[in-house]
Amino acid sequence: MFTLSKRAEEIPPFLVMDILERANELEREGHRIVHLEIGEPDFPTPQCICRGAMDAMGRGLTHYTHSQGIWELRECICRYYNKRYGVDISPDQIIVTPGTSPGLFMVFSVLLDPGDQLIMTDPHYPCYPNFVRFLGAEPVFINVHEDDGFQMDPDTIRSKINPKVKGILINSPSNPTGTLLSDERMAEIANLGPLIISDEIYHGLVYEGKERSILEFTDRAIVLNGFSKAFAMTGWRLGYIICPKELVRPIQKIQQNLIISAPSISQWGAIRAFDEAIEDMEHMRNVFDERRRYMIRGLKEMGFRIPVEPVGAFYVFVNARHLSEDSFSLAFDILEKAHVGVSPGIQFGKNAEGFLRFSYANSLENIQEGLRRLKGYINSLKQ
């Protein structure tokens, strides 16, 4: 028998993977599953990005890069943030990472000692509190609610601030809710005192209104972003951190030890994203918007109440407590009986129990079929 570390034993599983793995078993048995559980763009990576990577391979650019990332890509990120948000950052404030999740883990590693606290919403992306607890620190949750558009309340945050709090984590557009944090609340949160950590991975996927970077409101912030969502590059494993200069070296040292550098080929390909793939990004955004509108309309027709419609990312997060208080069992029941994969709310926090997350990162045809099956499932419960 192996003796496992307490960390390994206590880190929870990604529940949506349990759904996906059972869906895969059903597919092997010959069933057609409609996947509305996965938050991954169904589009191919734009060809210009692929050509950039192939060109880099042809030029032999297949080795380790600078641990902060290649200078050319960091310059592109600076130009992009200046053009899109009107903020001035320098390449030496950027660390390119192998995906945004490793970036989050490194940021938390720099900021948090055992016993420290990090404020975040409930619902939240599941990895946030898992990373925090893995480091021996404590997540402090701010419950957000559907009738308020899942908005963080600055006064509630203020009441939670104490000497142990090392930062406030925001995610706008949000996973799982698909909602935007309002400009007014973002500005107020930026001035509460603690460092702000802003996960901006779903920027570029907003359909009503405009996403705002935390850097428009304060320099006392860390931004995490990447290429997976807006540019359909999940498999390229490429993200980046923008942070105050005094935090660059500590994060860089962790990257050097754990990772060395982000993938060189992915970095050279990503340069083309900013130079040539903006139209591709806009096309994907428009298609996602069409799917979003269809899904919201279809779910409302089935009786789901959506008081504040999601306007970003590719998720619709709905209260399903009229069907069941146990979202995990409900998600599995829908999968087994309707052959539709959905994400259980409990995956995203205690305050999210009874909710379901639907992803429209799938074709309109598949979404139509998935909602048709879901309607049949709900009707069967009434019989």
pLDDT tens string, the chain, 383 residues long: the values are 788 898 888 888 888 888 889 999 999 999 999 999 988 999 999 999 999 999 999 999 999 999 999 999 999 999 999 999 999 999 999 999 999 999 999 999 999 999 999 999 999 999 999 999 999 999 999 999 999 999 999 999 999 999 999 999 999 999 999 999 999 999 999 999 999 999 999 999 999 999 999 999 999 999 999 999 999 999 999 999 999 999 999 999 999 999 999 999 999 999 999 989 999 999 999 999 999 999 999 999 999 999 999 999 999 999 999 999 999 999 999 999 999 999 999 999 999 999 999 999 999 999 999 999 999 999 998 77
| Cα–Cα distance, 294 to 362 (Å, whole number) | 12
Q: Most distant CA pair in the chain: distance in Å?
A: 65
Q: Check if the beta carbon of residue 240 is closer than 8 Å to that of residue 97.
A: yes
CATH superfamily to which 6-44+279-382 belongs? Aspartate Aminotransferase, domain 1 (3.90.1150.10)
Domain with CATH 3.40.640.10 in the chain: 47-277
Instruction: Give domain 47-277's CATH number out of 3.40.50.300, 3.30.70.20, 3.30.230.10, 3.40.640.10.
Output: 3.40.640.10
Residue 305 in 3-state DSSP?
coil
| Cα–Cα distance, 348 to 194 (Å, whole number) | 24
| Cα–Cα distance, 281 to 230 (Å, whole number) | 6
Domain with CATH 3.90.1150.10 in the chain: 6-44+279-382
pTM score: 0.95
Of the candidates 323, 328, 331, the one whose C-alpha atom is nearest the C-alpha of residue 380 is 323
| Cα–Cα distance, 286 to 261 (Å, whole number) | 34
Amino acid in position 33: I
Q: Check if the beta carbon of residue 296 is closer than 8 Å to that of residue 316.
A: yes
Q: Check if the beta carbon of residue 120 is closer than 8 Å to that of residue 258.
A: no
